[in-house]
């Protein structure tokens, strides 16, 4: 009988993507089978996130539960990966002696061998090093067909925003070669992918190397991808305002396949706070990018990330953020209370904002964003939207669902054979984040 493994994933899209790769690695290399039931697993994997508070505590809490399974069956292997693993390394095994494997975001491709090593030697192993590009080599070997696919084009971050742990856990920016990326997307397209989501901590810092040694910038990569037959929609997350150069804006003019929706994290509406955050742009710079984009794409919708209650943020700074939210008219966005991360420059900054005030600011901000999100959704009522059908709706099993260009999930009645096709849907009902409607036409 095949051995079984269970995987729990916390955190960002990149982590989800990493877990997806891990699943395939273990199925193919170790002949393991995925299970949704942790109690029956021979191998328990935790892919962790350390972006905000209590990450470590959450990990040890989860591990404590898994320790019980190991008591019942000492052969169970426990592996911890992701950003907490990267940060803590073998200290995880010091504190939780029953953890067999610690691997980092850049060593997950070594997992099959690490598992075999543990089985053969009954010893523990920890590898959270940053071997350059090695991980990317596994990418194009494991391809699964879906109408919407994700692909990592670069990893790591060199920005060192004063609040952020990512540069320490995922290492420096490294880009995959354009040739590899184009090859993988071509394979995906041949097998039915119509929409591609490019992933990276800072996709616009992408600098791939062509075979002739010349540099491929993000804008060039977008153009090359848009030429791949079968790819009809292109999205990416996340980009940084500092590197949002004019050559990228030009792509919005030339390539309609690039969606009319952009996630561009701003974090704060106050220049003073942006300086303390080490973001290296001003609100004027940010608004200038949006202005240029709107010149070309008047209806482009913008979403963002916000941090409230960063040390030194006073009422005036917070109001500046609220003002920016109205002015740019942000669509659905992510927002967080600042969380001090050990090892980051902002960690020791004095923060006098009370917990009540922090929560209040977050609430006010989220309410405003929600209002704007609903307004954008309501405007869609009665319109006809192009939707790429992704599958059967989880919520309404008699319906199928897909996404609009502006990233709204729409559910509607339709045949399963429409999965993978673009359909035109007339929007009838509007909820805050999702929509429902009726098909008016299906592509040939």
The residue ranges that bind ligand SAH (CB under 6 A) are: 12, 51-52, 163-164, 166, 201-202, 238, 265, 267, 305, 307, 336, 338-339, 341
CA distance linking residue 302 with residue 262, whole number of Å: 5
Provide, rounded to whole angstroms, the least separation between the CB of residue 126 and ligand SAH: 25
Cβ proximity to ligand SAH: between 131 and 342 the closer is 342
Provide, rounded to whole angstroms, the least separation between the CB of residue 279 and ligand F3S: 7
Provide, rounded to whole angstroms, the least separation between the CB of residue 202 and ligand SAH: 6
Provide, rounded to whole angstroms, the least separation between the CB of residue 109 and ligand SAH: 21
The entry of ligand SAH, ligand F3S, none near residue 297 (CB within 5 to 8 angstroms by kind) is none
Provide, rounded to whole angstroms, the least separation between the CB of residue 310 and ligand SAH: 8
The entry of ligand F3S, ligand SAH, none near residue 396 (CB within 5 to 8 angstroms by kind) is none
Provide, rounded to whole angstroms, the least separation between the CB of residue 365 and ligand SAH: 12
Beta bridge partners of 43: 5, 77
Cβ proximity to ligand F3S: between 91 and 334 the closer is 334
The entry of ligand F3S, ligand SAH, none near residue 162 (CB within 5 to 8 angstroms by kind) is none
Cβ proximity to ligand SAH: between 193 and 268 the closer is 268
Cβ proximity to ligand SAH: between 265 and 414 the closer is 265
The entry of ligand F3S, ligand SAH, none near residue 248 (CB within 5 to 8 angstroms by kind) is none
Provide, rounded to whole angstroms, the least separation between the CB of residue 423 and ligand SAH: 30
Provide, rounded to whole angstroms, the least separation between the CB of residue 144 and ligand F3S: 27
The entry of ligand SAH, ligand F3S, none near residue 51 (CB within 5 to 8 angstroms by kind) is ligand SAH
298: nearest Cα among 306, 290, 287 = 290
Cβ proximity to ligand SAH: between 77 and 166 the closer is 166
Structure tokens at 51: 């972006």
Cβ proximity to ligand F3S: between 202 and 268 the closer is 202
Contact residues for ligand F3S, defined by CB under 6 A: 157, 159-161, 164, 166-167, 201-202, 240
Cβ proximity to ligand SAH: between 92 and 264 the closer is 264
- Helix/strand/coil (H/E/C) assignment for every residue in the chain: CCCEEEEEECCCHHHHHHHHHHHHHHHHHCCCEECCCHHHCCEEEEEECCCCCCHHHHHHHHHHHHHHHHHHCCCCEEEEEHHHHHHHCCHHHHHCCCCCEEECCCCHHHHHHHHHHHHHHCCCEEECCCCCCHHHHHHHHCCCCCCEEEEECEECCCCCCCCCCHHHHHCCCEECCHHHHHHHHHHHHHCCCCEEEEECCCHHHCEEECCCCCEEEHHHHHHHHHCCCCCCEEEEECCCHHHCCHHHHHHHHHCCCECCEEECCCECCCHHHHHHCCCCCCHHHHHHHHHHHHHHCCCCEEECEEEECCCCCCHHHHHHHHHHHHHHCCCCCEEEECCCCCCCHHHHCCCCCCHHHHHHHHHHHHHHHHHHHHHHHHHHCCCEEEEEEEEECCCCCCCEEEECCCCCEEEECCCHHHCCCEEEEEEEEECCCEEEEEEEEECC
The entry of ligand F3S, ligand SAH, none near residue 70 (CB within 5 to 8 angstroms by kind) is none
The entry of ligand F3S, ligand SAH, none near residue 167 (CB within 5 to 8 angstroms by kind) is ligand F3S
CA distance linking residue 412 with residue 416, whole number of Å: 11
Cβ proximity to ligand SAH: between 220 and 305 the closer is 305
CA distance linking residue 437 with residue 423, whole number of Å: 11
Residue closest to ligand SAH when measured from CB atoms: 305
Provide, rounded to whole angstroms, the least separation between the CB of residue 345 and ligand F3S: 11
Region class of 348: left (phi > 0), else alpha (psi between -120 and 50), else beta: alpha
The entry of ligand F3S, ligand SAH, none near residue 160 (CB within 5 to 8 angstroms by kind) is ligand F3S
The entry of ligand F3S, ligand SAH, none near residue 338 (CB within 5 to 8 angstroms by kind) is ligand SAH
Cβ proximity to ligand F3S: between 164 and 425 the closer is 164
């Amino acid at each position: 009988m095949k051995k079984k493994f269970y995987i729990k994933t916390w955190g960002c899209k990149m982590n989800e993507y990493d877990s997806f790769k891990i699943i395939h690695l273990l199925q193919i290399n170790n002949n393991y089978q995925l299970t949704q039931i942790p109690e029956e697993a021979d191998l328990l994997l935790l892919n962790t996130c350390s972006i905000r508070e209590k990450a470590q505590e959450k990990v040890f809490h989860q591990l404590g539960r898994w320790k019980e399974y190991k008591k019942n069956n000492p052969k169970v292997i426990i592996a911890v990966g992701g950003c907490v693993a990267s940060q803590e390394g073998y200290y995880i095994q010091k504190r939780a002696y029953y953890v067999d494997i610690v691997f980092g975001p850049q060593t997950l491709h070594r997992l099959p061998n690490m598992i075999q090593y543990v089985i053969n030697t009954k010893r523990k192993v920890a590898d959270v090093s940053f071997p350059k590009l090695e991980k990317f080599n596994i990418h194009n070997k494991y391809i699964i067909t879906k109408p919407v696919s994700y692909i990592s084009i670069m990893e790591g971050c060199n920005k060192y925003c004063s609040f952020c742990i990512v540069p320490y856990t995922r290492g420096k920016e490294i880009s995959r070669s354009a040739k590899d990326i184009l090859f993988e997307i071509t394979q995906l397209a041949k097998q039915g992918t119509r929409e591609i989501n490019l992933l990276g901590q800072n996709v616009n810092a992408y600098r791939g190397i062509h075979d002739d040694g010349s540099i491929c910038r993000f804008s060039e990569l977008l153009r090359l991808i848009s030429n791949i037959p079968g790819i009809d929609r292109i999205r990416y997350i996340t980009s940084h305002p500092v590197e949002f150069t004019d050559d990228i804006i030009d792509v919005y003019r030339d390539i309609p396949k690039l969606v009319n929706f952009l996630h561009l994290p701003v974090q704060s509406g106050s220049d003073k706070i942006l300086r303390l955050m080490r973001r290296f742009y001003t609100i004027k710079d940010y608004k200038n990018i949006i202005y240029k984009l709107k010149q070309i794409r008047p209806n482009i919708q913008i979403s963002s990330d916000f941090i409230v209650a960063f040390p030194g943020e006073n009422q005036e700074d917070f109001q500046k953020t609220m003002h920016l939210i109205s002015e740019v008219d942000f669509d659905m966005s992510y927002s967080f209370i600042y969380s001090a991360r050990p090892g980051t420059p902002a960690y020791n900054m004095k923060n006098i904002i009370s917990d009540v005030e922090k929560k209040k600011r977050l609430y006010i901000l989220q309410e405003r964003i929600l209002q704007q999100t609903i307004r954008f959704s309501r405007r869609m009522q009665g319109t006809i939207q192009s939707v790429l059908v992704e599958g059967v709706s989880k919520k309404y099993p008699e319906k199928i669902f897909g996404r609009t260009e502006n990233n709204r999930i729409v559910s509607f009645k339709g045949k399963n054979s429409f999965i993978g096709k673009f359909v035109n849907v007339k929007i009838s009902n509007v909820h805050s984040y999702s929509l429902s409607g009726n098909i008016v036409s299906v592509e040939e």
